[in-house]
A and B are shown apart, each in its own frame.
Chain A
Amino acid sequence: MRKTTFLAALTAAVSLAGVAHAEDMVFTSWGGTTQDAQKAAWADKFTAETGTNVLMDGPTDYGKLKAMVEASGVTWDAVDVEGDYAVQAGKQGLLEPLDFTVIDKSKLDPRFVTDHSVGSFYYSFVIGCNADAVSACPKAWADLFDTANFPGKRTFYKWSAPGVIEAALLADGVAPDKLYPLDLDRAFKKLDTIKGDIIWWSGGAQSQQLLASAEAPFGSFWNGRLTALAADGLTIETSWDNNITAADSLVVPKGAKNKDAAMKFIALATSAQAQADMAAATGYAPTNLDSPALMDPEVAKTLPDQQKASQVNADMNYWAEHRDEIGTRWYAWQAQ
């Protein structure tokens, strides 16, 4: 009897939770300062406008996303993923096609729009240097590979993703417009020359810690992280020479329970004002072409979209197609 009462109570609780769920949606991103900014610039505003609560989850995990879709138990509604993964996952049938009657793509940077994804924000890999810790700061990718003139540890992004391979090829003298298809043999050969001098950073916070402590006085960074360090009063030099852009994308996993809310959320997140607010908070560039006009010009000029003079766009379609092959080789090379 007591068991039955307990069960009844449990059933009631579950159905209550179910009711609450109908008015909620879940947004998953990478945590840290970036997700804080996404919450403030997008989610809180969305809740204020529509009454739908946006629950935050994270970090984004591609294994988890695939498991949810395969098990038909998707608990994420909108997810921030890397641009090349968005293209690949779309082709693998893991994503819902976006509803472009809800999301206005006419104002969005076409580089980051596919049937299944729109740009979330975009960033550049730039050369950062703690000017207090060294006598000379590297200015070009080739300098980061020059251990004779720039001795010391340098830090690069640990995971297989657009950025480091491109940097190695540029340093080796490949012309920016001749990068793709990537010459992996050449890239790894170049990386071999500094392998012992590399400390890998696996997340944005760690990259900042390495640079601020001068554990690695220079390296390749997401531009927004350097902006944040400089704002904290450190003497940070940023070189935008051949900065390499890559984007995050917003996607909806196949079978998401609150698909309609997710589409509306993405529509708001990619609107001009929301993108401008997000950019101002993070130092990453907006993906809505109308956003720069809404921003403080002083802030807008520090963003990647104003650094096109010497800029390389990582080819998301190339990466999507070769993601597995490059990844397997990348991790094998690291482990050697």
Chain B
Amino acid sequence: MTQASNTAMLAPPPRRRGWLPAGLGPATPALVLLTLFFVVPVVSLLLRSVLEPSPGLGNYAELLGSSTYLRVFLNTFLVSGLVTTVSLLIGFPVAWTLAIMPGRWARIVFAILLLSMWTNLLARTYAWMVLLQRTGIVNKTLINLGLIDQPLTLVNNLVGVTIGMVYIMLPFVILPLYGVIRRIDPSILQAAALCGATKGQALRRILLPLAAPGMAAGGLMVFVMSLGYFVTPALLGGTNNMMLAELIAQFVQSLVNWGMGSAAAFVLLVATLALYAVQLRLFGTSQMGGR
């Protein structure tokens, strides 16, 4: 019995081998894992969303028909878009600087970037909470400098969420962008200058188009990660800019309404896959990794 189950675990059943495209053999363990722990749960999620509490599309009708939930959807996309834009605006100059920096200095900056990535997410988010609150260091400094009289509201709103999330997402923009920019031949820019292009023109017509695949890859990754983000919006955001992941958690944990929770999760999944499909159509798979 042990022998039989061992064989079943290690090798695909012979029948399957026939329809698996050639070359997928080595990927079988990963495929089995994905089927067991991804496909099966997703299908049961979908089933729950149309079966609980009663069969039908009632959950989806309620979700998409209510102005409150639509607001949450809209807000999720708004926050993700804002975070992506700001991350790209900050990330691009950083990646550019890193690419032209002497290697030793670049390594130090990378170490700082990666170190921040490896630090616990909750710890980093709580740190922002302490820094940004009304009685926090940022506000106290600004008041002591005489720049403001009243503390600025920097947490429990969109500002807090954006700051906290951009900080976490930056490495995901900088790393792919760095990869792309490093591969741009500096002589192309020299050639542009020789041909009379201003710095602005060189940026607009040469650098940005060449870096576009990296921007798209990094931007999409950040956007998709942001769509499903939970911890940072929950801690730094207010209740009136709730994101979808928080809504799902509420349905599952507080209201114990799994039908609605599943429906919301499924809508999020479909939106994410749709975005991925758009990316594939526009850039193909070869450039997803930055090249």
Taken together as a complex, chains A and B put the C-alpha atoms of A328 and B250 apart, in Å, by 9
Q: Which residues of B contact A63 (CB under 8 A)?
A: 252-253, 256, 258
Q: Which chain B residues (161-188) contact chain A, with CB distance < 8 Å?
A: none
Contact B240 A336 (CB under 8 A): yes
Among the 9-residue stretches A38-46, A153-161, A271-279, A301-309, the one with 4 or more Cβ atoms under 8 Å from chain B is: A153-161
Contact A215 B134 (CB under 8 A): yes
Number of chain B residues close to chain A: CB under 8 A: 25
With contacts A62-B254, A63-B253, A199-B156 known, is A335 near B71, CB below 8 A?
Answer: yes
Q: How far, in Å, is B13 (CB) from chain A's closest CB?
A: 19
Taken together as a complex, chains A and B put the C-alpha atoms of A4 and B66 apart, in Å, by 57
Contact A332 B68 (CB under 8 A): yes
Q: Which chain A residues (247-267) contact chain B, with CB distance < 8 Å?
A: none
Contact B239 A334 (CB under 8 A): yes
With contacts A158-B239, A160-B254, A328-B255 known, is A335 near B68, CB below 8 A?
Answer: yes
With contacts A213-B135, A332-B66, A335-B71 known, is A327 near B239, CB below 8 A?
Answer: no
Taken together as a complex, chains A and B put the C-alpha atoms of A4 and B253 apart, in Å, by 41
Q: Which residues of B contact A194 (CB under 8 A)?
A: none
Q: How far, in Å, is A20 (CB) from chain B's closest CB?
A: 24
Interface string of A203-233 (1 = CB under 8 A from B): 0000000000111000000000000000000
User: Nearest chain-A residue to B6 (Cβ)?
Assistant: A3
Q: Which of A158, A202, A328, A335 has the most CB of B within 10 A?
A: A335
Is the C-beta of A30 less than 8 angstroms from some C-beta in chain B? no
Which of A4, A215, A327 touches B254 (beta carbons < 8 Å)?
A327
Is the C-beta of B2 less than 8 angstroms from some C-beta in chain A? yes
Contact A153 B134 (CB under 8 A): yes
Contact A336 B256 (CB under 8 A): no
Taken together as a complex, chains A and B put the C-alpha atoms of A199 and B69 apart, in Å, by 22
Is the C-beta of B131 less than 8 angstroms from some C-beta in chain A? no
Contact B250 A331 (CB under 8 A): yes
Q: Which residues of B contact A334 (CB under 8 A)?
A: 239-240, 242
Q: Which residues of B contact A199 (CB under 8 A)?
A: 156
With contacts A199-B156, A215-B134, A215-B135 known, is A335 near B239, CB below 8 A?
Answer: yes
Which of B72, B135, B156 touches A335 (beta carbons < 8 Å)?
B72
With contacts A3-B6, A199-B156 known, is A335 near B240, CB below 8 A?
Answer: yes
Q: Which residues of A contact B156 (CB under 8 A)?
A: 199
Q: How far, in Å, is B246 (CB) from chain A's closest CB?
A: 9
Is the C-beta of A7 less than 8 angstroms from some C-beta in chain B? yes
Contact B240 A62 (CB under 8 A): no
Q: Which residues of B contact A200 (CB under 8 A)?
A: 239
Taken together as a complex, chains A and B put the C-alpha atoms of A160 and B253 apart, in Å, by 12
Taken together as a complex, chains A and B put the C-alpha atoms of A130 and B101 apart, in Å, by 52
Q: Which chain B residues (246-269) contact chain A, with CB distance < 8 Å?
A: 247, 250, 252-258
Is the C-beta of A61 less than 8 angstroms from some C-beta in chain B? yes
User: Nearest chain-B residue to A202 (Cβ)?
Assistant: B234
User: Nearest chain-A residue to B250 (Cβ)?
Assistant: A331
Which of B134, B250, B253 touches A61 (beta carbons < 8 Å)?
B253
Taken together as a complex, chains A and B put the C-alpha atoms of A327 and B261 apart, in Å, by 14
Is the C-beta of B133 less than 8 angstroms from some C-beta in chain A? yes
Other A-B pairs beyond A62-B254, A327-B255, A331-B250, 19, CB < 8 Å: A3-B6, A4-B2, A7-B6, A62-B256, A158-B239, A160-B255, A200-B239, A202-B234, A213-B135, A215-B134, A331-B254, A332-B66, A334-B239, A334-B240, A334-B242, A335-B71, A335-B239, A335-B240, A336-B240
B-side residues, CB < 8 A to A, are 2-3, 6, 66, 68-69, 71-72, 133-135, 156, 234, 239-240, 242, 247, 250, 252-258
Can you report 23 A-B residue pairs in the complex whose CB atoms are below 8 A from each other? A4-B2, A7-B2, A62-B254, A63-B253, A63-B258, A66-B256, A66-B258, A153-B134, A158-B239, A160-B255, A199-B156, A200-B239, A213-B133, A213-B135, A214-B135, A215-B133, A215-B134, A327-B254, A331-B255, A332-B66, A332-B68, A334-B242, A335-B247
